[in-house]
Structure 1
Amino acid sequence: MADRSFLSWPFFEPKHRELAAKLQGWCESRLPKSSGDLDADCGALVAALGSAGFLKLCVADGDRRPDVRSLAIARETLAYHSGLADFAFAMQGLGSGAISLFGTVEQKREWLPRVASGGAIAAFAMTEPECGSDAANIQTSAMREGNEWVLVGEKTYISNGGIADFYLTFARTGEGEGARGLSAFIVPADAVEVAERIEVIAPHPLARLKYDNVRLPADAIIGEPGQGFRIGMETLNLFRVTVGAAALGFARRALDEALAFACERRLGSGTLADNSVTQEKLADMALAVDASALLIYRAAWQQDVGGTDNRRAAAMAKLHATESAQKVIDAAVQMHGGAGVTRGVKVEELYRDIRALRIYEGASEVQRQIIARDLLKGASS
């Protein structure tokens, strides 16, 4: 059982503690086991999470944005039990986030109830073959022709690619150079060609997509033309803290696996846990986990309470939690010895699960730039 004492911290309200208890119980009793068919597994997980009511956390409720503390608790809890379950939950939020934040009443009415029920699988399509972190260089184009938009281009490394019901797609509409010329569109899946399925070290549905003269109605655009970069960045910022929360869930699980292994593994006349080197390593792991939790839930609280620019806090939370989780999990693998790199052992699975979190939704290098620029801005003012 993961340590839940952090829920007594003043960042939380009773509803957050109730959510944590409910989701923990659901994970222990209902979380499906992977069958090896990623598409089927993710579809089943989305449906199960929607049926249980947890996907409502991912979407706006009227004019109220998603509660980031709830999202963080959900992702930490799900990641502790299953990286694929966390992925299924997170993508429903990220893929529909622009609709929650900037969509019209009609767009929200059409898509958000289906996302919340698990009836529609969402995807976020920004990355391109020649454009990763530098979203301002997106080349996919959208041209206005009468009452339609025509999209041409390619996206890659798109999570839920091939199983999504719609892709929140960013394309260049030309209102200005770089970031000023982007717009966001809701693209139904049947309009997009899945050009390639991509396999990665922690398996989940991932694909390269082609937009071959995709025609969309005029009202498929989110916000105004030229607002796409802002829409994309605010969507990513809303969910950035929760990436750290998922990393925290992985790290907590690695620490618990290491503790259990150390207490059971015989070493001479005692156990591995009696060894001072092991104790030192466990202490460092626990320190990293608690530091990440403090940064994550501080940033989530700031985001929910409002009244302050939390970009630096969110960047710190994401950066520290993902980088520290990598170290915690590596230490757990090392402690397990040969078992730590054996397929089917939990710490080996965690070792593969954590790596991508240091890259997506803003790589660690990008988070350092955000933090440094905010510091420098304050120093020069």
Structure 2
Amino acid sequence: MTAFSLEPARLAWCAELRALAAERLRPLAGKGEPGRVDRALVAELGTLGLLPRLFTSGALDLCLMRESLAHACTEAETALALQGLGAHPVHAHGTPAQRARWLPGVSDGSVVAAFALSEPDAGSDAAALSLTAELAERDAAASGAAPAPAPPDAAPAPASLAAHPEGRSGWRLTGEKCWISNAPDADFYTVFARTTPGAGARGVTAFLVPADRPGLTGSRLDMLSPHPVGTLRFDAVPVTADDVLGEADRGFRVAMDTLNLFRPSVGAFAVGMAQAALDATLAHTARRDAFGGKLKDLQTVAHQVAEMALRTESARLMVYAAATAYDEGAADVPRRSAMAKLLATETAQYVVDRAVQLHGARALQRGHLLEHLYREVRAPRVYEGASEVQRGVIAKELYRNVEDR
């Protein structure tokens, strides 16, 4: 297989996913409440065996899942993607105890995960995080009680913590996260907090924070996109070395590793929406009577449809190429991932907008497929790195290659 073709087995799998999305997932999604986690939908994704594949499939198969589901049911696609985004850091960087505690529930759909990186003043500039993780006094020492023994498979205390002379045992998280998908309904959050002030990206630590930790509260945001988004507030939320994902002060690597995997698949989500809009436009323009013939017979319409198809296929190929590069461990994954997300999300915006224009007023009616896609398609150009951030990543990688020569 190359980056530019799929073997018959994969093509058949994509067709099967589109059928499952239309027949079993879309009816469930229609019963869900916009802006809330649809736990019945998440559970069905687990029953169908799609959630476990988040941890056993490569980047290309993740893209194929997201594209295929998005074509028929964007809600199902988003539910799957958010489970993966929130839980991938646990799968890739967690301890055996963390993985055993949380991943089975994520896989069967009984546990909802979330990825908590963005803040009110640190969205695109992820290295500017201000959620603070301050070292906390050992509770047991304050009460005079003996500390509980650490589990045998617990992560070793980070050097910055273990070396502290005052017997400190953990951190207190204080601050706010904003625009967090699945918040505040998730069961646990992958949270990125500043453990070393003034250190930029080098002073961030990733924590696994269960939703029932004292001091953690949240609220929902009413967004244009119908999927759940909210804020999280941390009022001295306690975390310990057992909650660290990866290593202390190296959490930015956890975040970037996750985003490098999921950015191409955001592009796949966009391609799925673009294809759905293109298919609807082909059907509409082929049967719509206009000016003594069919709408498709007007050259201006036919050329617009051709352009929509051209851009959709170009985006698809770039997404597949980026995912294949990730699976092969290529050195240029950050650049390819950024290019794939940028091209695909901008393409989907164009294609959906053209589709609305060619359908006319009917496409703006609440409940129409294109009305739904029009609301869905805008957000991917912002989240997981806005289009401007992707251009910055691409340029940085290009100039790095020049400097290395």
- Name which of 118, 121, 125 aligns with 1:130: 121
Tell me, yes or no, if structure 1 residue 271 matches structure 2 residue 294: yes
Mapped contact 2:3–2:317 kept (Cα < 8 A): no
Cα separation, partners in 2 of 1:334 and 1:372, compared to 1, 3 Å: same
Tell me, yes or no, if structure 1 residue 148 matches structure 2 residue 170: yes
Mapped contact 1:325–1:354 kept (Cα < 8 A): yes
Q: TM-score, normalised by structure 1?
A: 0.92
Mapped contact 1:251–1:289 kept (Cα < 8 A): yes
| DSSP-derived class of the 2:185 partner | coil
Structure 2 counterpart of 1:57, which letter?
R
Structure 2 counterpart of 1:213, which letter?
A
Mapped contact 1:141–1:171 kept (Cα < 8 A): yes
User: 1:376: Cα distance to partner?
Assistant: 1.6
| DSSP-derived class of the 1:326 partner | helix
Q: Which residue of 2 aligns with 1:374?
A: 397
Structure 1 counterpart of 2:41, which letter?
L
| DSSP-derived class of the 1:190 partner | coil
Distance in 1 of aligned mates of 2:45 and 2:375 = 24
Distance in 2 of aligned mates of 1:10 and 1:195 = 44
Mapped contact 2:29–2:75 kept (Cα < 8 A): no
Tell me, yes or no, if structure 1 residue 55 matches structure 2 residue 59: no
Structure 2 counterpart of 1:190, which letter?
D
Q: TM-score, normalised by structure 2?
A: 0.87
Tell me, yes or no, if structure 1 residue 172 matches structure 2 residue 191: no
User: 1:40: Cα distance to partner?
Assistant: 6.2
Tell me, yes or no, if structure 1 residue 324 matches structure 2 residue 347: yes
Q: Which residue of 2 aligns with 1:200?
A: 223
User: 1:99: Cα distance to partner?
Assistant: 1.1
Distance in 2 of aligned mates of 1:317 and 1:9 = 13
**Cα deviations across residues 94-120 of structure 1 (Å, max 9, x unaligned)?**
001111221112211211121111111
Q: Which residue of 2 aligns with 1:304?
A: 327
- Name which of 358, 362, 385 aligns with 1:362: 385
- Name which of 238, 242, 249 aligns with 1:215: 238
Structure 2 counterpart of 1:214, which letter?
V
Q: Percent identity?
A: 43
How is 1:347-358 mapped onto 2 (pairs within 5 angstroms)? 347-358=370-381
Cα separation, partners in 2 of 1:14 and 1:338, compared to 1, 3 Å: closer
Aligned residues: 370
Distance in 2 of aligned mates of 1:320 and 1:130 = 26
| DSSP-derived class of the 1:54 partner | coil
- Name which of 19, 22, 45 aligns with 1:28: 22
Q: Which residue of 2 aligns with 1:4?
A: none
Q: Which residue of 2 aligns with 1:340?
A: 363
User: 1:87: Cα distance to partner?
Assistant: 1.0
User: 1:345: Cα distance to partner?
Assistant: 1.1
Q: Which residue of 2 aligns with 1:188?
A: 210
RMSD of aligned residue pairs (Cα, Å): 1.8
Mapped contact 1:34–1:41 kept (Cα < 8 A): no
User: 1:127: Cα distance to partner?
Assistant: 0.7
| DSSP-derived class of the 1:34 partner | helix
User: 1:150: Cα distance to partner?
Assistant: 1.4
**Cα deviations across residues 10-58 of structure 1 (Å, max 9, x unaligned)?**
5545663353233122112211242251366621111000111100122
Q: Which residue of 2 aligns with 1:259?
A: 282
Unmatched 5+ stretches in structure 2: 137-167
Tell me, yes or no, if structure 1 residue 70 matches structure 2 residue 61: yes
| DSSP-derived class of the 1:214 partner | strand
Distance in 2 of aligned mates of 1:252 and 1:307 = 28
Mapped contact 2:315–2:344 kept (Cα < 8 A): yes
Distance in 2 of aligned mates of 1:163 and 1:47 = 15
Distance in 2 of aligned mates of 1:8 and 1:275 = 37
Mapped contact 1:176–1:226 kept (Cα < 8 A): no
Cα separation, partners in 2 of 1:33 and 1:172, compared to 1, 3 Å: closer
Structure 2 counterpart of 1:196, which letter?
S
Tell me, yes or no, if structure 1 residue 86 matches structure 2 residue 77: yes
Unmatched 5+ stretches in structure 1: 1-6
Tell me, yes or no, if structure 1 residue 295 matches structure 2 residue 318: yes
User: 1:83: Cα distance to partner?
Assistant: 1.7
Distance in 2 of aligned mates of 1:261 and 1:8 = 34
**Cα deviations across residues 53-81 of structure 1 (Å, max 9, x unaligned)?**
1001222x4xxxx4111110111011111
- Computing the radius of gyration over CA atoms, which structure comes out larger, 1 or 2? 2
Structure 1 counterpart of 2:124, which letter?
S
Structure 2 counterpart of 1:170, which letter?
F
Structure 2 counterpart of 1:121, which letter?
V
Distance in 1 of aligned mates of 2:227 and 2:308 = 27
**Cα deviations across residues 231-252 of structure 1 (Å, max 9, x unaligned)?**
1111111111000000000000
Mapped contact 2:188–2:208 kept (Cα < 8 A): yes
User: 1:144: Cα distance to partner?
Assistant: 2.6
| DSSP-derived class of the 1:115 partner | helix
Mapped contact 1:11–1:301 kept (Cα < 8 A): no
User: 1:226: Cα distance to partner?
Assistant: 0.5
Distance in 2 of aligned mates of 1:22 and 1:263 = 26
Q: Which residue of 2 aligns with 1:19?
A: 13
Q: Which residue of 2 aligns with 1:109?
A: 100
